[in-house]
Amino acid sequence: MKSTDARRPRIRSSIATPSVPLTGDRTLIMGILNVTPDSFSDGGRWQKLDAALEHAAQLTAQGADLIDIGGESTRPGAERVSVAEEQRRVLPLVRELARGGIAVSVDTMNASTALAAAHAGASVINDVSGGLADADMTRVVIETGLPFVVMHWRGHSAEMAARARYANVVADVRRELEYRVAELIVRGVDPAKIIVDPGIGFSKNAEHNWALLGHYTDLASLGLPVLVAASRKGFLAPLVAEGAAPDARDAPSAVIAAIAASQGAWAVRVHDVAETRSALDVADAWRRGARS
């Protein structure tokens, strides 16, 4: 018997929603646009709507396939913000970008924000909790019919460091993602709309992050599109000059993106789109050379 949720009518945006492919032979670039005062890398830079729109246009021109808009920081130790404040930050930007034909993913753990963003024209719901933080998120995903990024998650920012304990991080993360995906499907989420994210940096230390990246194929064996989101994260700090700003991590971030693309990742979530685009172009040329 089908879930009652699965029989609910789809929510239609009043704005033409740009489509985002979930299959294909090209890794997509998800450009990060944080409209928060406290994000670890670029907090406060894009809080004004005009500045955010200009930056989104720049990311798109540099090769971003979609723009990931977040109104609440999820860095370690970050404080939660109210849903009303999150929506005040996010919705005008989603609406304007969608009107301009730019595909948008909304980075939120709040079901009401996801629903409002869908009405505003968002193309993807990107929930770092995979629907665990808000019990109503599953219903919103079903009703909107939007692709849903399910990240591996063990708790909110204030508590996630204490939960970075694994018997085998690759096996444990894969199993927990598999169980979460199965639960969503049983409740009525279309499996063809699910994307998984191993949650680099969330309840994981540097060793865990590298193990997950190094065993990408174990995660890909779930048979679902995979989002890799490692850009500028703290575990990359030892690879650059001591005390360097987070944007100094763009080069190693681009290398990770290129390797992820060579492994068949659906998308990479990055701050520096231009450098990532160059890295993915090199990876594409390398693959073409191997086939010639």
**Catalytically annotated residues:** 233, 269
Smallest CA-to-CA distance from 91 within 142, 51, 145, 49 is with 49
Residues 6+ apart with CB under 8 A from 262: 283, 286, 287
Output the six-digit token pair for 178: 């598999």
Residue 34 amino acid letter: N
User: How far is Cα 290 from Cα 216, in angstroms, rounded to an integer?
Assistant: 21
Cα separation of 24 and 176, whole Å? 26
Closest CA to 45 of 63, 31, 33: 33
**Residue 54: both structure tokens together:** 């200009």
Q: How many CA atoms lie within 13 A of 144 on its CB side?
A: 28
Cβ proximity of 148 and 188 under 8 Å: no
> Which residue is associated with the tokens 């390398």?
286
Q: CA-based angle 139:140:146, to the nearest 5?
A: 120
Print burial letters for 33-61: b (CB count within 10 Å at least 16), e (below 16).
bbbbeebbbbbebbeeeeebbebbeebbe
Q: What beta strand segments (E) does 159-272 contain?
A: 194-197, 227-228, 267-270
